[in-house]
Amino acid sequence: MRQSQLLMPTLREAPSEAEAASHILMLRAGLIRQLAAGIYTYLPLGRRVLRKLEQIVREEMDQAGAQEVLMPAMQPAELWQQSGRYEVYGPELIRLHDRHDREFTLGPTHEEVITALIRSEVSSYRQLPMTLYQIQTKFRDEQRPRYGLLRGREFLMKDAYSFDEDFDSLHRSYMSMYEAYNRIFTRCGLNYRAVEADAGSIGGEGGTHEFMALAEIGEDTIAACDACSYAANLEKAEFRVEQQADSMQAAEQGELERLHTPDIKKIEQLVEAFGIGADAFMKTLIYTADGSPVAVIVRGDHEVNEIKVKNVLGAAQFELADHVTTERVTGAPTGFAGPIGLTIPILADYAVMAMEAGIAGANEQDYHLGNVQPGVHLANVQVGDFRNAIAGDCCPRCEQGRLTFHRGIEVGHVFKLGTKYSDALNAKFLNASGVEQPFIMGCYGIGVSRLLSAVLEQHADSNGIVWPKSIAPYQVHVVPVSAKDQVQMDLALHIAARLQEAGIEVLLDDRDERPGVKFKDSDLIGIPLRIVIGKHAAEGVVELKLRNEAEAQKLGLEEAIAFALEK
Ligand code: 9G3
């Protein structure tokens, strides 16, 4: 492709409203242009990369035995009324009327449409298992579209749906998709983690994994082991409680110290006031479990994991007590609660019991107590694992790993749906005994346009994009230094022709621009290999530079072509 003809409007600076690195790069490198908030046009470079991403997804879906279909964006409202979701979604669900005044949605996802299709086209267990997928535009009227393609209102998704006769077969379909996702994200050069979104329930109905691309701009926080593949959403992350020093420290000498802490309620204020670490405090929070108050104590630098406490108590309702309840059960306003003198059940996290002594609320306004000793003052409380994981905790799956925290961009999400949609839409098949059964379903999404952003968040340097070879818009950038120099241009055209004949995708910078502009643009658009034809052209010597290496090398014509062909 001749760059003088290519629509690739590069920018020195990105518009000020672009914050995310990937969004800035897409605008500066001329990959996309915004039509409206959250709605983008893909320019030729962006379209070429998106097509390569689609192709990787398509190859792996086909390889996994899924069949490609293409469903409409316009979906009759009746289907969403049958599934009960029409009223559930608010303004995010785009609705419209056709010329006959019939109601439609612009599809944000396709569970209803695909289930209606299977309901009318598949009726026997002999046709199962079956997984269908599409790569198609989705519409979700996000309140705050931002970060370019990371959160758009019209975006490209691969969505797949599996249909099985029972849960064992669903598990096989689910794992087949799960493994295909690992191959897809690896081929895209992505640093990602598969995250158990609700730990441990993958076996039965329900169960889901999210695929998170690690990036600071990501909206989610995940805990990942630095030694094995364990990863989980922060609020679901488990950890191995380290072998406790005998949990009741030998009772120290010394009495409780009454500490006057006027209006000092939060751990940060206590840390500030006492000039010691948060881990020297005991944080007592009052909750109600099915209506009755309980006290949960965690170390000052930890957070209560409410799911863990709720599960240990077997409570249906579990939430922070309101200020009135807190005042009633502790005798003090929120912020001064402590274990001593409480008459309600107390749950203390292991890490509290491992403290020799700590500072806790005094259950009296404006007072705390120093030298609270678990061995003395928490002798008969319920002890357990009641806290969120923190960085450095032991991995719950392997022996030596430690948890590290990362921000992540959700690029994939796989779900076991069970019969949620086949029941709602009455989609059944005849099983081997001739009995009607609802299909057992799974659904599997990849944000293909979001994937483009995630790759860019991970593959860039201060000069611009550094495309992984598998998805670069072109493979070789041939750059003659001076378009006016006939010797250079002839050699450049010759090299471009030789590579194109060998099936290499070549971009030829034939523009009449200063060398500095050419090299800055070349670094910005990030094509993996650059061949520069400069003052040594007459001797048939050119310069090769890999985009992800600092050094360039001089090679003869044939060596350069051979190098480009095997790279
Ligand atoms: C809506 C709107 C937004 C939505 C949904 C429905 C997210 C909705 C979840 C899914 C689940 C899976 C198949 C591919 C993988 C994800 N946002 N979800 O259902 F009406 Cl406005 O889309 N769908």
Per-position DSSP letters for 429-497, written without gaps between them:
EE-TTS-EEEPEEEEEEEEHHHHHHHHHHHSEETTEE---GGG-S-SEEEEES-TT-HHHHHHHHHHHH
Q: Predicted confidence band at 17 (pLDDT cuts at 50, 70, 90)?
A: confident
Per the CB < 8 A criterion, the answer to whether 156 and 50 are in contact is yes
Cα(344) to ligand 1 centroid in Å equals: 43
Q: Which atom of ligand 1 sits closest to the CA of residue 141?
A: 21
What confidence tens digit (pLDDT) does each residue in 45-63 have? 999 999 999 999 999 999 9
pLDDT exceeds cutoff 80 at 246: no
The C-alpha atoms of residue 101 and residue 76 are separated, in whole angstroms, by 12
Q: How far apart are CA 376 and CA 509, in angstroms?
A: 78
Q: Which residue CA neighbors atom 20 of ligand 1 most closely? A: 93
Dihedral sign of CA atoms 11, 26, 33, 1 in order: positive
Q: What is the pLDDT of residue 14?
A: 85
pLDDT at 238: 87
- Say which CATH class 474-566 falls into: alpha beta
Residue spans in the chain of domains classed CATH 3.40.50.800? 474-566
Query: Taking residues 355-367, what's their average pLDDT?
Result: 95
CA of 22 to the centre of ligand 1 (A): 24
Question: What token pair was written down for 125?
Answer: 């267990």
pLDDT at 550: 93
Ligand 1 centroid from CA 99, angstroms:
27
The whole-number pLDDT of residue 205 equals 56
Instruction: Output the pLDDT for position 252.
Output: 58
Nearest-CA residue for atom 10 of ligand 1: 109
How high is the mean pLDDT of the chain? 94
Closest ligand 1 atom number to CA of residue 85: 20
- The model's confidence at residue 204, banded by pLDDT at 50, 70 and 90, is very low
User: Ligand 1 atom closest to Cα of 414?
Assistant: 15
Structure tokens that stand for 80 in this block: 């969403």
Q: Do 165 and 429 contact (CB within 8 A), yes or no?
A: yes
Nearest atom (ligand 1) to Cα of 88: 20
Task: Convert the pLDDT of each residue in 288-343 to its tens digit.
Answer: 999 999 999 999 999 999 989 999 999 999 999 999 999 999 999 999 999 999 99
Lowest mean pLDDT among 69-73, 123-127, 245-249: 245-249
Pair of tokens at residue 106: 């612009």
Peptide bond into 468 cis (omega under 30): no
Report the separation in Å between the CA atom of 272 and the middle of ligand 1, taken as the mean of its atom positions. 45
Q: What kind of fold does domain 9-207+415-456 have according to CATH?
A: BirA Bifunctional Protein; domain 2 (3.30.930)
* 82: enclosing H helix or E strand: helix 77-82
Residues in the chain, overall count = 567
Task: Encode pLDDT of 427-477 as tens digits.
Answer: 999 999 999 999 999 999 999 999 999 999 999 999 999 999 999 999 999
509 alpha carbon – ligand 1 mean position (Å): 43
Work out which ligand 1 atom sits closest to the CA atom of 443.
13
pLDDT of residue 243: 67
Going from the Cα of 115 to the center of ligand 1, the distance in angstroms, rounded, reads 14
Whether the predicted pLDDT of 497 surpasses 60: yes
Tell me how far the alpha carbon of residue 107 lies from the centroid of ligand 1, in angstroms: 9
d(CA 418, CA 443): 10
Q: What is the atom index within ligand 1 of the atom nearest the CA of 89?
A: 20
How many angstroms separate the alpha carbon of residue 48 from the centre of ligand 1?
27
For residue 111, how far is its CA from the centre of ligand 1 (angstroms)? 8
For atom 23 of ligand 1, the residue with the nearest CA is 109
The class (CATH top level) of 244-384 is alpha beta
Shortest-distance Cα residue to atom 9 of ligand 1: 109
Q: What would the mean pLDDT of 356-383 be, rounded to a whole number? A: 94
pLDDT at 253 over 70: no
* Residue-level pLDDT at 200: 41
Q: Where in the chain is the domain with CATH 3.30.930.10?
A: 9-207+415-456
The residue whose CA is least distant from atom 14 of ligand 1 is 445
**Measured between alpha carbons, how far is 289 from 311 in angstroms, rounded to an integer?**
11
CA-nearest residue, atom 8 of ligand 1: 109
pLDDT at 507: 98
* 537 CA distance to ligand 1 middle (Å): 57
Report, in angstroms and rounded to the nearest whole number, the Rg of the chain calculated over CA atoms.
30
Return d(Cα 498, Cα 427) in angstroms, integer: 57
Model confidence at 416, pLDDT cuts 50, 70, 90, reads very high
pLDDT of residue 202: 38
Q: What is the per-residue DSSP string for 145-186?
A: -BTGGGB-SEEEEEEEEEEESSHHHHHHHHHHHHHHHHHHHH
Ligand 1: residue of 79, 92, 104, 109 to mutate (most ligand atoms within 8 A of CB) is 109
Rounded distance, CA 424 to CA 426, Å? 6
| Cα separations in angstroms, 430 against 66, 152, 170, 436, 483 | 22, 41, 17, 4, 70
Residues of the chain with CATH 3.90.960.10: 244-384
Cα–Cα distance, 370 to 342 (Å, whole number): 17
- Please report which confidence band the pLDDT of residue 196 belongs to, taking 50, 70 and 90 as the band edges: confident
Q: Which residues line ligand 1 (CB under 6 A)?
A: 89, 92-93, 108-109, 140, 159, 413, 443, 445
The mean pLDDT value for 262-284 works out to 93
